[in-house]
Each structure stands twice: as structure tokens, then as C-alpha cells.
């Protein structure tokens, strides 16, 4: 269980979206968190790869393969 406090204007937007679509506020909160986590995980993977001394290819090199 997670409890989150939202600014009133964010809560209003969330309630309006949930009402218009017939989905729950929890559905949209869960989706937003999942998408954010995926983006952050991708960012950390990219940073890790940039910090390793492995070979890197340019787009032109990949297109020639």
C-alpha cells in the first residue's frame, strides 16, 4: 500500500480523467509510476553503458552491418 499526497490541481485533473474514461484514479497513478520507473531504469542503463569502456558504434557503422 502506498499513500501519496497530490496538489489539488493534480487531483482535479486525475479525477476528471478517471471520470471521463471510466478508469480509476489508482489505475492512472499506477500507470504513471510504472512509466516513470521504466524511464528511470532506461536512463540508469544508458549511464552505466556510457561509463564502461566497451566498444561503441556510430549509427553509420550499424547501418553498414
Task: Give the dihedral of Cα atoms 19, 4, 34, 40; nearest 10 deg.
Answer: 140
pLDDT, tens digit, 9 for 90 and up, residues 3-37: 999 999 999 999 999 999 999 999 999 999 999 99
Q: Which three cell numbers stand for residue 33?
A: 509510476
Model's pTM, two decimal places?
Answer: 0.72
DSSP characters for 17-55? HHHHHT--HHHHHHHHHHHHHHHHHHHHHHHHHHHS---
Q: Could you give the count of Cα atoms lying within 13 Å of 45 in the half-sphere of its Cβ? A: 6
Amino acid at each position: 500500500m502506498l499513500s501519496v499526497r497530490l496538489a489539488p490541481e493534480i487531483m482535479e485533473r486525475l479525477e476528471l480523467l478517471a471520470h471521463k474514461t471510466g478508469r480509476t484514479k489508482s489505475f492512472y497513478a499506477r500507470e504513471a509510476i510504472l512509466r516513470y520507473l521504466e524511464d528511470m531504469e532506461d536512463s540508469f542503463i544508458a549511464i552505466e553503458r556510457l561509463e564502461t569502456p566497451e566498444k561503441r558504434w556510430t549509427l553509420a557503422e550499424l547501418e553498414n552491418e
